[in-house]
Amino acid sequence: MKMHFFKYLSLLSLVLPLCNAQPNTTFRVGVILDADSLVGRIGMTSLSLALSDFYSLNSNYSTRIVLHTRDSNGRVTDAAASALNLLKDVQVDAIIGPQKSAQANFVIGLGNASNVPIISFSATSPSLHPQTPYFVQTALSDDAQADAVAAVVKYFKWHQIVLVYEDSDYGNGITPYLSNAFQQVNARVSYRSVIPISTTNDFILQEMYKMKTMQTRVFVVHTSSALASRIFLKAKEAEMMSEGYVWIVTTGIMELFYSLDSKVVESMQGVVGVRPLVPRSSRLNSTTARWTKKFADDNAGVSPPPEMNLYALWAYDALWGLATAVDKTGVREQPISLQNATALNYTNMFITETSLTGPIILATMLDTKFEGLAGNFQLINGQLQPSSFQVLNVNGEELKQVGIWTPLLQNSSSQTNANMTGFVGEKLENIIWPGESRNVPKGWEVPVSGKKLRVGVPINAGFPEFVKVEMDPQTNSTKISGLYIDLFDTIMSALPYAVRYEFVPFVKSDGSCAGSYDDLSYQVSIGNYDVVVGDITITTTRSEYVVFTLPIEDGGVTRTQKIQYDDDPSDKWFFLRPLKWELWLTILSLFVFTGLALWILEHKFNEEFRGRPAGYLGLIFYIPFMSIVFAHREKMVTNLARLVVTVWIFVVLVLVSTYTASLSARLTIFKLQQGDTDINNLIRNGDYVGCREGTFLVEFLKRLGFHESRIRVYKLPEEFDNALLNGSGKGGITAMFSRTPYADLFLSKYCNKYMKVGSPFLTEGVGFGFPKGSPLVGDVSSAVTKLTDNHMISEIKTRWIKQSGCTDSDTSQVGWTNIGLKSFKILFGVTGAVTGTCVVVFIVYLMYSKRVEVRKIYGDSRTSGWEKVCGIWEIFDERDREFLPEEGVQMVDRNAAMSSGLQLLSNQVSPRINRSPPTVALDTKGLDNKGNTREK
C-alpha cells in the first residue's frame, strides 16, 4: 500500500506537465515523510491535492513541479539517506520535509551545504531556527504558543506549574520559551517531568505517582500524540484526572485529537489545549470536502479525520507557495558538477553538488505572500508568522472553543494594564475541568500521601507568652503553645481548605537549641521544614531562604534602659523644684513691685502706710507676702489700691494652688529621667549593650556602630533584668535592644525599674516563612489580611498579653515637668499692667492737682536739683485727706476727736507715730492739723 501510494504520487507529478500544450520547465522537488504515520499520510494527501489544484487553476504556467517522494520510516538515518539520494541522484531544487524535528535537524545541514531549501510543514521545534538560512518553516514554531499557554495560567492565577515533555528535539525545544513565558506571568516551573519516547508504561505510571505526591496540580504537556495517549491513560489510572487537577496540552496534541483512540479521549475529559486559529472560508470548506475524499481513496482502511487539520493546511500552503516561487523563478539552472565526483563519493558520502536554482527559489519564496487555507501565508526570516490561538476544552468526544487569544491584544494591553491576558473580551467561557467539575481548580493541593507539613518552631522565644515549648522526657511528648502558635492555628483554619500540619521544635538530638533564627530559616529552604512559625522578624538574610507572608505583627527595635530619677526627695532644696528659677525670680519681682505700688497708692491717705523709712520697707514686703496666706490686716482706703490688691490676690491664689499641686506630686511620684537619646554616646562611652541570643539584633547593632565585643546576648527576661541592674560597670549592660513587642512585655513585668529611651528603629514585622514558590503564601497572606480587618488577630493578642500589662498606678508610666515662666506669661502680664497703670494714673493725677506747687519748685532757678527732688518728695509725702472717702471727710471735721484717737494709736500700737516734739503736717493750704495758719 505504501509503495503503491508513493509510485502513484510520482506518476501524477510526471503526467501533469504532459497535459499542457505549452513547453514546460520542470523543477524537481523531493518529499521526505514517514509514510506509515498519520501526519505523513495527511501531508502526502495535501501535497498531491495542492499540486493538482495549483496547476488546474494556473494551467497556462510554463513551469511544473515534479515530486520525488521518499519514506523516512520514522528514523533519522533513513531521512538523511533519503535526502542524500534526492540531492545526489535526483538533483532536486527543493525538499519538502522531513516530518520530525530530529530528522530535520540533520537534513537542513545537507540542504545548507548544497544550497537547496528544506521546507517543513510539520517540524515545529524552535531549536531548528535559525540554524541555516536554507531552512523554511511553513508551520508555526512551537515557541509561538508559549505565550498563549502562559495566558491561560495567568487568567486563572496559578503560580506553580509542572512541565511534562518528551526527551527529544521536539520536546526540549519549547521548554526555555515556556519557562520564560511562565515567569512573565508570575508563575514558575516547580518540576520538569522528562519522559523518553521509548519509555515503558510502568515508567510513566511511576512518574504519575511521583507528581501526585507534589503540591502542584497544574500540568502542561508537550509531547507527540502517541506518547500523550499513554500519559493520559496512566494519569487516569493514577486518579489524576479527577477534580482539582489541571491539564494543559499544546498544539501537537490538539491537532491529532480526533485520531485518538476512544479510551484516550475518555481519559482526557476536562483537558484544556491551545491551537492556532484557522479562519473559516468557502474555499476551505470545498477543499476540505475534496481532501477528505482523496484521503480515503489514497489510504484504504484508514479513517479520514473529520476535517483538514493544521498539518494538512500547512502542507497544502507550503506546496502552493513553492509552486508560486517556482513559476516566478522561470528557468531551472543545472547544479554545479563536482570534479572527480566518483573519487570523492568514496571518501565523503555527504558531499553533494551545489544548486544554482535553490537560492533563487528560496529568495522568491520568502517574498511570496498570499491568503492560504491556514490563513495569511507570509514568511519572515524563514518562519510563518504567529496568529491568534484557540483555547479548546475536551468535552465528550468534541473540542469546545472557550476563548481566543491574540498576541496583538496582549502586546497592547501590557502597556496599559498588566492584569490583562490577551483574550478576546478578556474572558474564557465556562470550562469543564477533570472530574466533570465546573469549579476552577486552585492549582495546588496538600499532597495526598498523608505527609503533614512540618512547622519549625524555635525553642528560645524569651517570653513564654510568645512561644513556649515544653518537653516531657518521660513520655517523650512535646507541648507547644503561645501567641504565635495560636495565631498560626487561627490563620490556617481560616483557609478555604484543610491543611494538615504538625509543630516540630528546632532542637538537636539532646534537646538543646539547634541554632539561630537564620539557621531555622535555612532549614526550610533545604526542605527539612515546610514552614517556620514564631517571633521570626522579616529580614534580608532570611528572605534569601524563605518567602514571608504579610506581617502578623508590627516591627521595630526599642532601646530599654534603667530608670534614673530627676530629683532626690532628701535634697534640701527639694521644695524649690516645682517651679523653675526664672519663675521664682519673676514672682519675687512681682512681690516687690506690688508692695511698692500699694505703698505709693496708700502713702498720702492711709496712716498704716506712713512712718519711718524702715516701716515703708516693712510694708512693701509684708503685705504681698502675707497675702499668700491671706493674713494681711491693713485696710486699703483708695480705690486704685483696692484694684491692685484684688488682681494680686487672684494671682497669688493661682500660684499657691499650682505650687501645692506640683509639690504634692513630687512627694508621691518621682519623674523618670529621660535617657540620652543619642545612641552615639553609648558607642563613644564604650557601654555594653544587650540583645536576645539567636536573633538578627547582633548584626543590627553592628550596623549601628557597636563593636562586637560590646554586645552581650541573653536568653531570658530575668537575665536582662540582672544585666540592666548591674550596668556596664559591673558586668552587665547599659541598654537592652529588642523588638518593640518584646520590650513592651518586658516593661510590663518590670514597670518600676526600666523605661524606653528614644524612638524605635524601624524594621519589618513578624511573619510566617514558607519555601520559595510555596502556593500557601498567597492564601495565608490573604487570611492574615482578613483576620486583621475583623480584629481577630488583636483579640488573640489580648488573650495572651493582657495579664502582663502595667496597671494604671505604675509610676513608670506617670510623669510631670517643672513649671516655668511660660505658663504664667498672660497672668503676670495682666497683673503687671493693672498695677503699673494704677500707679501711673495716681502720679499723673497727683502732679496735676499739685501743679501750682510743682511750678513753684521748678520755676525757682535758685534751687538746686536735689532741692527740687526734695520738694517733690514733700508734696508726695505730705498727708492728704482731700481724696479720702466720705468717712474720712467726717474725720477732718472733727479734728479734736481725730487727734486724740491718733495720739492714742500712736502710744499703744504704732511707735513710729510718736514724735518728740510732735510735728505739724502742713497741707497745701498752709494750715496745721489744728486748722491754724502758720508760716512756711
- Distances in whole angstroms, Cα of residue 382 to Cα of each of 350, 363, 726, 880: 24, 10, 82, 127
Kindly report the backbone phi and psi dihedral angles of residue 656, in degrees, each rounded to the nearest multiple of 5, phi listed first.
-65, -40
| CATH code of the domain occupying 143-279+389-407 | 3.40.50.2300
Q: Are strands 531-532 and 546-548 parallel, antiparallel or unpaired?
A: unpaired
Number of H helices, E strands in the chain: 32, 27
DSSP 22: S
d(CA 39, CA 311): 7
Q: Are strands 375-380 and 383-384 parallel, antiparallel or unpaired?
A: antiparallel
Please report how many Cα atoms fall inside a 13 Å half-sphere around the Cα of residue 673, on the Cβ side.
Answer: 10
**CA atoms 341, 342, 344, 345: torsion sign:** positive
Q: How many CB atoms lie within 10 A of CB 173?
A: 23
Q: Is there a cis peptide before residue 551, judged by omega within 30 degrees of 0?
A: no
| Homologous superfamily, domain 25-140+281-331+353-384 | Response regulator (3.40.50.2300)
Helix (H, G, I), strand (E, B) or coil at 389: strand
DSSP E strand stretches across 260-395:
272-276, 369-372, 375-380, 383-384, 389-395
Q: Which burial class, exposed, middle or buried, applies to 78 when counting CB atoms under 10 A from its CB (0-12, 13-18, 19+)? A: middle
DSSP 722-750: HHHHH-GGGTS-SEEEEEHHHHHHHHHHS
CATH class of the domain whose range is 454-546+777-804: alpha beta
Radius of gyration of the chain (CA): 53
Distance, first Cα to last Cα, the chain: 166
Q: Provide the residue ranges of all domains of the chain, joining segments of one domain with +.
A: 25-140+281-331+353-384, 143-279+389-407, 454-546+777-804, 556-564+672-763, 574-668
d(CA 162, CA 652): 86
Q: Which residues of the chain have pLDDT under 70?
A: 1-23, 130-131, 336-350, 408-419, 446-451, 461-462, 473-475, 564-575, 577, 607-608, 610-619, 621-634, 665-677, 802-818, 860-861, 863, 877-878, 880-936
Say if CB 234 and CB 204 are below 8 A apart: yes
Query: Max alpha carbon distance in the chain (Å)?
Result: 173
d(CA 9, CA 13): 6
What residues form DSSP beta bridges with 379? 384
Say if CB 456 and CB 524 are below 8 A apart: yes
| CATH code of the domain occupying 556-564+672-763 | 3.40.190.10
Residue 341 neighbours by CB under 8 Å, 6+ apart: 353
Topology of domain 574-668 in CATH is Helix Hairpins (1.10.287)
Q: What is the pLDDT of residue 589?
A: 83
Q: What is the pLDDT of residue 300?
A: 84
Residue 18 neighbours by CB under 8 Å, 6+ apart: none
- Buried-exposed string 144-169: b where 16+ CB fall within 10 A, e elsewhere: bbbbbbbbbbbbbebbbbbbbbbebb
Per the rule left: phi > 0, alpha: psi between -120 and 50, beta: everything else, 364 is: alpha
Q: What is the pLDDT of residue 650?
A: 82
Per the rule left: phi > 0, alpha: psi between -120 and 50, beta: everything else, 97 is: left
* Domains 454-546+777-804 and 556-564+672-763 are alike in CATH topology: yes
d(CA 575, CA 482): 49
d(CA 275, CA 728): 75
Residue 731, C-alpha cell as written in the block: 558586668
Q: Which burial class, exposed, middle or buried, applies to 13 when counting CB atoms under 10 A from its CB (0-12, 13-18, 19+)? A: buried
